[in-house]
Structure 1
Amino acid sequence: MPISTAEAPARSAPIPAVEADLLEVNRSFYDALWRDARLIPPQQFNTWPLVAELAANAPRRLELAPGLRPRLPIAGTAFADISAPALRQLGAHGGLATQALADALPYADDAFDLVCAFDIIEHIDGDEAAMAELARVAAPGATLLLSVPIHMAAWTAFDDFVGHRRRYEPEALLALLARHGFALQRSAAHGMQPKSTRLLKLGMWYLTHQRERAMWWYNRVFMRLALGTQPALSMSPGMIDTDDVDTVLLVCRRIGGAASD
């Protein structure tokens, strides 16, 4: 059953001010990216079999900052993002799109059965506040799908370019989850970032200096190649061996009520 606004009532508090550099990253990179990009249906990602399994028993769903790469079913899912171009397209496809920040979500406590945050909390200066909000809106027993880049030793210019604030060490990531009442159940290696540093640098140059041309290639060539070469997602109980892993996907369970439980 699709989520309704009555099932996930919004709070009326306005979006608070955040650091100017975070908003500037969104304006200069992500708004430009999503303005010229196409929405890719979640069924095209290797996460879909996992998501379909989880969503079947989760009528109340939230995805945080998906841009135009949503992983949850679009129709009936609540989406919170700060990018207006992304929100317009998500709403046009049946999503319940709301402009909001990760550390001030406009939803009631315990509002969702499935919460998804792919490649987002590493962008947020106050990741503790963001995790507290995810815990607040997740009902007891809810599932959290979370993906983040790991290992600070793997930091590259690409991390700076897209506005990462950190990469997570696996032990610190598990501790962050535990502080907010999430218990890890399964994990997998994840991510679609090219391994070639030369290709990454070339892409960053074109996005900076020739964005229209870069977006043509991104939409019609590189994204299609990336989608077509995704390996099947291989989930393992607990935390996988993270050696040589760039990004990890975690399936967690909300074990308490409020984040302070």
Structure 2
Amino acid sequence: MKNTAASTVSNDLELIEANRQFYDPLWTDARLVSPERFNTWPLVSSLISQPQTRLEIAPGLRPRLPIEGTHFVDISAPAVAKLQAHGANAMQGLVSALPFEDGIFDLVCAFDIVEHVDDDDGALSELSRVAAPGATLLLSVPLHPSQWTAFDEFVGHCRRYEPQSLVAKLAKYGFEIEQSAVYGMQPKSSRLLDLGMWFLTHRRERALWWYNNVFMPMGVRFQKKLTLVAGMIDAEGVDEVLLVCRKINIASKA
């Protein structure tokens, strides 16, 4: 038990340090982008109801759930401070140790986070713990280990998921996939990614300025509409997937 606890602490410290080096500078110089501007908004709008308790984990300054009425948890102090400045109920925290009671959220959102965590089982267990029976989980992850690139390592990914293994892992923690869609804003050009990584490594201030003021606004403007299908999509050639999951009672299903 001691070794497990020590390993968890070590992994959390590594995640905090990786975030401090990469994401803290990004959020320090970035502006908050309202959730209405993302292609996820029609989906989110269809899921919002009153009364409802909502949680979004690791939104940075790109929240997908409404600022008002949502609890936000992020590891980054600059991101939390800016969210709070916009009236958000935001606090620092880790997905592996969420500061909430069991089963209190009706809608949980975790985009681009579990692939960054060394112990993704611990993260999914926490997502399941805080989700109420029948709750909706919005989750996005990169797919196919064979498509691993230097960019994955650069931004702090620990893994990519095989589609069927992902389905089984979610089921282990009580989540059933109801809908899914192709997701993500990563450029397809490997040369463009290589150039971006070079500038982030050697010309960080200039690279962040271009990202925040040019590439991110363009990416938001030219997003493709989400096309949701029932269950898990045919994931061949899909780089990243968005999943709409339902929290089920594992015991009753068994």
> Same-fold call, TM > 0.5?
yes
What is the rounded CA distance, in whole Å, between the counterparts of 2:61 and 2:230 in structure 1? 30
Deviation by residue 1:164-218 (Cα, 9 ceiling, x = unmatched):
0000000111111100001110000000001111111111111122121111111
* Residue number in structure 2 paired with 1:131: 124
Match of 2:14 among 4, 11, 21: 21
Alpha-carbon shift at residue 92 of structure 1 (Å): 1.5
What is the rounded CA distance, in whole Å, between the counterparts of 1:185 and 1:78 in structure 2? 24
Paired residue secondary structure (2:137): strand
Matched, 1:230 2:214: no
Match of 1:256 among 246, 249, 252: 249
Q: Structure 1 vs Structure 2: percent identity of aligned residues? A: 62
Which residue identity does 2:90 align to in structure 1? A
Structure 2 segments unaligned to the other structure (5+ residues): 1-7
What is the rounded CA distance, in whole Å, between the counterparts of 1:170 and 1:83 in structure 2? 29
Matched, 1:118 2:111: yes
Match of 1:103 among 76, 96, 111: 96
* Residue number in structure 2 paired with 1:9: none
Matched, 1:54 2:15: no
Deviation by residue 1:99-121 (Cα, 9 ceiling, x = unmatched):
11111000011110000000100
Matched, 1:148 2:148: no
TM-score normalized with structure 1 length:
0.90
Which residue identity does 2:52 align to in structure 1? P
Matched, 1:198 2:191: yes
* Residue number in structure 1 paired with 2:4: none
Deviation by residue 1:210-247 (Cα, 9 ceiling, x = unmatched):
12111111112111111111111000000111011000
Change (3 A) 1:85 1:91: same
Structure 1 segments unaligned to the other structure (5+ residues): 1-15
Q: Is the 8 A contact 1:136 1:257 kept in 2?
A: no
Matched, 1:31 2:20: no
Alpha-carbon shift at residue 161 of structure 1 (Å): 0.2
Match of 2:233 among 237, 240, 252: 240
The structure where helix makes up a greater share of residues is: 2
* Residue number in structure 1 paired with 2:56: 63
What is the rounded CA distance, in whole Å, between the counterparts of 1:128 and 1:52 in structure 2? 29
What is the rounded CA distance, in whole Å, between the counterparts of 1:194 and 1:24 in structure 2? 26
Paired residue secondary structure (2:9): coil
Matches within 5 A, 1:158-177: 158-177=151-170
Aligned length: 244
Deviation by residue 1:9-67 (Cα, 9 ceiling, x = unmatched):
xxxxxxx8342432221111011111111111111110000011112356200001111
Paired residue secondary structure (2:133): strand
Q: Which runs of 4+ in 1 moved over 6 A?
A: none
What is the rounded CA distance, in whole Å, between the counterparts of 2:51 and 2:220 in structure 1? 26
Alpha-carbon shift at residue 90 of structure 1 (Å): 1.1
What is the rounded CA distance, in whole Å, between the counterparts of 2:182 and 2:147 in structure 1? 15
What is the rounded CA distance, in whole Å, between the counterparts of 1:181 and 1:18 in structure 2? 27
What is the rounded CA distance, in whole Å, between the counterparts of 1:55 and 1:162 in structure 2? 31
Paired residue secondary structure (1:17): helix
Which residue identity does 1:195 align to in structure 2? K
Q: Is the 8 A contact 1:118 1:146 kept in 2?
A: yes
What is the rounded CA distance, in whole Å, between the counterparts of 2:158 and 2:75 in structure 1? 17
